[in-house]
């Protein structure tokens, strides 16, 4: 909702009066549920491989996927064998657990799991019942560590380490819990996690740095600044915060038309009629859903990596590895 991320206005009072009771109900139920897990009144599944959660406390995208990929790469460089588990949001397959193959269709397994499979070089599994999925990974892949993409609020899943990713631009919005605000849990939840990364903040977190512009059909790689000099170019994004993507392109010289879609939008080729014969630039998460389109030869995506400009990430990885070794 728009009023989550803008200063409250006088006419928002009506919305607040309507939604505040629901927020207090949500807050109470969330608090009770969390307390029950902490007290052992609800079962928590164990895992032979330690589980690391990369999540957030707000609704919408914050940059968890680049952090998950950076974490997996760092663990692999240290000789560990990680695996990734995801709920598989947007997946339409019916048989779970499901190991994601790089040749899968995003409509079947979900856009983020497919992107993780393409970039991580490790097993990626989707299962809405994460405990079942974790058991499958342990039984079939014997990983050293399991990284959960999202799932911070899935308290039935035991975890050894928690990382929260925060969008430094949108922050926590108006600071209210759902449905009055964007928070899934109170901001105080950050006090109990092992690490917090701020997306877009070089001092407290990371920035998303483009490595190349890649053609969806051929895989051809081009320099982003040279590519953005083209005039016959449009940009699209169907992510949690599409404005961040468009602003990032503008910083690199993009001056063309941009169009935002809803997060996890299930693209059809007809969605791109507005572009005419122009080249189409998108996020990598969008691109995995467009690989079979006949116009994919003029579709490109920006490949990005999370980049830290200080030692914060390495320090977190070292603490994680120490904990994994306990």
Q: Which domain holds residue 47?
A: 43-203+310-325
Tens-place pLDDT, residues 139-181:
999 999 999 999 999 999 999 999 999 999 899 999 999 999 9
How many alpha carbons lie under 13 Å from residue 48 in its C-beta half-sphere? 12
Q: Over 80: is that where the pLDDT of 1 sits?
A: no
**What's residue 146's pLDDT?**
98
Residues 321 and 237 in one domain: no
Q: What is the distance between the alpha carbons of residues 173 and 61, in angstroms, rounded to a whole number? A: 13
- In a domain, residue 106? The reply is yes
Rounded to an integer, the average pLDDT of 293-304 is 96
**What's residue 229's pLDDT?**
84
Residues 84 and 104 in one domain: yes
What lies within 8 Å, CB to CB, of 264 at 6+ separation is: 89, 90, 110, 111, 238
Residues 95 and 226 in one domain: no
Of 289, 18, 20, 322, the closest CA to residue 145 belongs to: 322
Residue 326: pLDDT band by 50, 70, 90 thresholds?
A: low
Residues 104 and 179 in one domain: yes
Residues 212 and 144 in one domain: no
Residue 95: CATH number of its domain: 3.40.50
Helix or strand holding residue 163 (H, E): strand 161-167
- In a domain, residue 257? The reply is yes
Residues 85 and 199 in one domain: yes
Radius of gyration of the chain (CA): 20
Calculate the average pLDDT of the chain. Answer: 94
**What's residue 268's pLDDT?**
95
**Would you give the distance in Å from CA 244 to the centre of its chain?**
14
**What's residue 89's pLDDT?**
86
Residues 184 and 268 in one domain: no
302 within 8 A of 251, measured Cβ to Cβ: no
CA distances 166 to 7, 149, 162, 171, Å, are 19, 14, 13, 6
Residues 61 and 191 in one domain: yes
Q: Over 90: is that where the pLDDT of 11 sits?
A: no
Structural domain count of the chain: 2
Tens-place pLDDT, residues 247-289:
989 988 898 999 999 999 999 999 999 999 999 999 999 999 9
Residues 66 and 188 in one domain: yes
**What's residue 110's pLDDT?**
94
Contacts 24+ apart (CB under 8 A), 28-33: 30/153, 30/177, 30/184, 30/185, 33/155
Residues 170 and 316 in one domain: yes
Residues 301 and 314 in one domain: no
């Amino acid at each position: 909702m728009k009023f989550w991320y803008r200063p409250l206005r006088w006419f928002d009072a009506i919305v607040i009066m309507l939604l505040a009771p629901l927020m207090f109900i949500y807050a109470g139920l969330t608090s009770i549920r969390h307390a029950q897990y902490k007290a052992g009144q609800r079962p928590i599944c164990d895992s032979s491989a330690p589980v690391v959660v990369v999540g957030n406390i707000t609704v919408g995208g914050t940059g968890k996927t680049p952090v998950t990929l950076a974490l997996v790469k760092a663990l692999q460089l240290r000789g560990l064998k990680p695996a990734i588990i995801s709920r598989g949001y947007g997946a339409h397959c019916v048989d779970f657990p499901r190991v994601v193959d790089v040749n899968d269709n995003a409509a079947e397994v979900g856009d983020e799991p497919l992107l993780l499979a393409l970039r991580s070089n490790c097993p990626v599994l989707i299962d809405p019942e994460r405990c079942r999925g974790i058991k499958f990974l342990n039984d079939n892949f014997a990983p050293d560590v399991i990284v959960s993409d999202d799932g911070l609020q899935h308290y039935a899943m035991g975890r050894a380490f928690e990382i929260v990713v925060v969008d430094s631009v949108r922050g926590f919005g108006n600071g209210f819990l759902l449905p009055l605000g964007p928070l899934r849990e109170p901001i105080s939840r950050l006090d109990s996690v092992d690490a917090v990364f701020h997306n877009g903040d070089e001092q407290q977190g990371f920035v998303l740095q483009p490595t190349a512009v890649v053609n969806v059909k051929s895989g051809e790689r081009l320099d982003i600044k040279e590519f953005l000099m083209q005039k016959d170019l449009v940009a699209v994004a169907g992510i949690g915060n599409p404005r961040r993507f468009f602003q990032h392109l503008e910083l690199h010289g993009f001056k063309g038309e941009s169009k935002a879609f809803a997060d996890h939008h299930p693209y059809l080729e007809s969605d791109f009629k507005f572009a005419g014969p122009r080249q189409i630039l998108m996020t990598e998460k969008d691109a995995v859903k467009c690989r079979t389109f006949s116009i994919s030869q003029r579709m490109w995506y920006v490949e990005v990596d999370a980049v830290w400009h200080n030692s914060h990430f390495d320090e977190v990885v070292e603490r994680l590895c120490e904990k994994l070794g306990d």
